[in-house]
Amino acid sequence: MSLERDLVSPDAEGEESQIEAALRPKRLGEFIGQARVREQLSLVLESALRRGRSPDHMLMSGSPGLGKTTLAMIIAAELSAPLRITSGPALERAGDLAAILSTLAEGEVLFIDEIHRMARPAEEMLYLAMEDFRVDIVVGKGPGATAIPLDIATFTLVGATTRAGLLPAPLRDRFGFTAHMDFYQVEELEQVLHRSARLLGVTLPGEGAHEIARRSRGTPRIANRLLRRVRDFADVRAGGVIDRDIASAALNLYEVDAEGLDRLDRAVLDALLRKFGGGPVGLSTLAVAVGEEPETVEVVAEPFLVRQGLLARTPRGRVATAAAWHHLGMTPPPDAFGATLFD
């Protein structure tokens, strides 16, 4: 299981979602981090408002938890426009998309999360809708089928994707503005945490915020969830004040180590080192060894481990670096991958 699933029980997911929504910034001026994206987006929105027209379609790419959905909500708020939310996996047929597009209001913002996972028929319908604000409704089947063009309201599509490389070029080229969301620096996450602490009524000194921020994997969503778990610990065992020692003790209890690795991350490294001698080993084999689905290992654990220089993807399989051996307190073999870089 991932860090986020480990820390939140199924019964608490509804309440957690409500808290997450309450912590989201509502306006662009409240959004912390992503300075370049914020400046670019501000210009796009201001220009559209001055011209009295809907802005170009926008594509947001980046890892989960960096603020793509929040920015979509902010775009609608800044435009004073309604927001319609759906996701790529929910659009299995062209009719699913047509039902949404045909009911959009003028100037509405349509947000499609994980847009790279749309079904091909829906994707092809979206091409025409984005360019000409029209959809073709097919009536009948077989040789007698007829396409009836239907004009739709002018709208702005905001697409979000965690895997921009999977977007087909014809779809990607129809976005007038694209933005890539970067991981946050520790200092930016501290700002996020202080803002969230004020909203939650939590006493969070600077040293406590720093300890949480540096273990948050560069991701605001994780930082906010860790803050809530540390708050619980502090309320019960430390009178509610989160200093560095309390934050450290709480995060250790929740199995988030000093480098931000959680249980799954360490399980992947442990299996790779102890069972497979550091690799190379295939993704499916590694996933079986830690009792997870291959997609979970690939999407949840691997990106952070690669970014931390602890794991490498090679044509032959996954390989632990010398830094991974050192992180688990083990001595790397002389031929460990990256030994010359990390020794």
Annotated binding site: 23-24, 65, 68-70, 131-133, 174, 184, 221, 313, 318
d(CA 257, CA 262): 7
d(CA 318, CA 271): 11
Whether residue 105 contacts residue 150, with contact meaning beta carbons closer than 8 Å, is answered with: no
Question: Can 221 be counted among the known catalytic residues?
Answer: yes
Q: Which of 38, 68, 217, 231 is catalytic?
A: 68
Question: Can 162 be counted among the known catalytic residues?
Answer: yes
Q: Which of 38, 113, 217, 225 is catalytic?
A: 113
Question: Can 11 be counted among the known catalytic residues?
Answer: no
Residues tagged in the binding site annotation for ATP? 23-24, 65, 68-70, 131-133, 174, 184, 221
**How far is Cα of residue 257 from the mean position of the Cα atoms in its chain?**
21
Question: Can 151 be counted among the known catalytic residues?
Answer: no
d(CA 282, CA 272): 10
Q: Which of 156, 161, 162, 219 is catalytic?
A: 162
Q: Could you please report the per-residue DSSP string of 287-319?
A: HHHHTS-HHHIIIIIHHHHHHTTSEEEETTEEE
d(CA 45, CA 107): 13
Question: Can 69 be counted among the known catalytic residues?
Answer: yes
Please report where in the chains the tokens 């199924």 appear, as a residue.
10
| Tokens at 243, concatenated | 């200093």
Q: With the CA atoms of 325, 326, 328 and 333 taken in that order, what torsion angle do they form, in degrees rounded to the nearest 10?
A: 30
Residue 264: left if φ>0, alpha if ψ -120 to 50, beta else—which one? alpha
Residues with Cβ within 8 Å of 235's Cβ and at least 6 positions away in sequence, in order, are none
Residues tagged in the binding site annotation for Mg(2+)? 69
Which H or E element spans position 189? helix 186-200
**How far is Cα of residue 152 from the mean position of the Cα atoms in its chain?**
31
Q: Which of 38, 215, 217, 221 is catalytic?
A: 221
Alpha-carbon distances of 334 from 274, 281, 298, 306, 319, rounded to whole Å: 16, 19, 27, 21, 14
Q: Which of 69, 161, 219, 321 is catalytic?
A: 69
d(CA 287, CA 264): 10
Residues tagged in the binding site annotation for DNA? 313, 318
Whether residue 289 contacts residue 271, with contact meaning beta carbons closer than 8 Å, is answered with: yes
Task: Name the residues annotated as catalytic.
Answer: 68-69, 113, 162, 221
